[in-house]
Amino acid sequence: MDPIVIAIALVVLLAVFSIIWGAFGPKATEENGGMSSRLDAYRPDYNQPVTTDEKVAKLKQRSYSGVPIISVFLSQFKGSEKAALHLERAGVPLRVGEYYMMRWGVGAIFFVIPLVFGPSLFILAVCFGMGFVGYMLPSVYIGNKRKSRMNRINGQLVDFLGMVSNSLKSGYGLMQSFEFASRQMDGPLAIEIRRMLREANLGMSAEDALNALGDRVDSKDMDMVLTAINIQRAVGGNLAEVLEQVAHTMRERERIRGEIATLTSQQRMTGIVIGALPVIMFALFMVMNPAYMSLLFTELPGKIMLATAVGLEVLGYLVIKRIMAIEI
């Protein structure tokens, strides 16, 4: 049997096994006091004093994989914490080990796909390029999820601040106002607020819980809200009025963003049309005259031209995206 077919079959089998293991593999159970053993990490030892720093350290402990050995191994790398925070910001319920397994699995599948055209030096270079693309695809997907989630949180912040401000005017405390507003809101903002409140109830100081909330959300609007709260807690003042002014500022920023999007819509559409035109023409010529276009894949000058065209397409997309990224 052809070794290439065997390699492709093994990679597909590994990918299917990884999906089945992730969906139906062994998970943490509640038997034999599983819940109690996990809560013991947050219960103080009354024979020894427990400092606030120790409580915060316990609350910040992460499990990077369902397999303890792999979790300990991944904890040795700084990138594991960044990847875990990236997944939290995207709202994706994956551990770091599962995330890396998915990336390497997709990269391996993309690597072997070009081998069906036969082994050659050019095909091998394409394999490495496709493998890199496959490895980066999950990261791009997570990045898009993170951006979409952040936009939803920013859209909910104005209403949330209005509820918190009204609660403060009614005589509630800050954390009580947060709890009341979180019950009235939907996810994802309400989920993050409830998690912040849960961490504060388990022993974190209010400032540490708010800072952890800002790290997870990674939103400039949320950072502005938390900065206003921290300043008010340090120097005093009417927090309800401060939050109202912050909400007003956020509304004005959103209005300006809408105006900029309207004024730049024609330029963005022009970039999309110009970027898609070479791809569409390439597909049309492939359908009309495949023998003529096959020179791009069989001859060395054609391969160089094709690689240059793809590189210029990617470069043009990145340049246009950079030009249109107007910070408010």
* Pair 13, 140 in one domain: yes
Residue 48 has pLDDT above 50, yes or no: no
The predicted-structure confidence for 61-94, as pLDDT tens digits, reads as follows 666 666 677 777 777 777 777 888 878 888 877 7
Distance set, CA 241 to CA 52, 121, 154, 156 (Å): 32, 67, 20, 19
Q: What is the pLDDT of residue 262?
A: 84
Last residue within a domain, chosen from 215, 250, 285: 250
Q: Do 193 and 81 belong together in one domain? A: no
312 and 224, same domain (yes or no): no
The answer as to whether 38 is a domain residue is yes
- Do residues 198 and 288 both lie within one domain? no
Answering whether pTM is above 0.85, one says no
Residues 69, 163 share a domain: no
Residue 23 in this model has a pLDDT that exceeds 80: no
At 94 the three-state DSSP class reads coil
Q: Assign 201 to helix, strand or coil.
A: helix
Residues 208 and 284 in one domain: no
> Is 259 contained in some domain?
no
Whether residues 8 and 118 fall in one domain: yes
Instruction: Tell me the average pLDDT of the chain.
Output: 76
141 and 84 both lie in a single domain? yes
Last residue of a domain, one of 250, 280, 313: 250
Average pLDDT over residues 124-142: 85
Q: Do 120 and 192 belong to one domain? A: no
Q: Is residue 207 part of a domain?
A: yes
Give the tens place of pLDDT for each residue, 231-288.
887 787 788 888 888 888 888 888 888 888 888 788 778 878 888 888 888 888 888 8
Residue 255 lies in a domain: no
Q: Are residues 157 and 232 in the same domain?
A: yes
- The CATH number assigned to the domain holding 239 equals 1.20.81
Q: Is the pLDDT of residue 214 over 60?
A: yes
Q: How many CB atoms lie within 10 A of CB 132?
A: 13
Phi-psi map region of 33: left, alpha, beta (phi>0 left; psi -120 to 50 alpha): left
User: How many distinct structural domains can be found in the chain?
Assistant: 3
Distances in Å between the Cα of 167 and the Cα atoms of 163, 174, 181, 243 are 6, 8, 8, 11
Q: Which of 101, 100, 131 is nearest to 7 (CA)?
A: 131
Residues 133 and 15 in one domain: yes
Cα–Cα nearest to 133, from 314, 328, 266: 314
Domain's final residue, options 196, 224, 250: 250
Domain that holds residue 287: 264-324
Q: Are 67 and 198 contained in the same domain? A: no
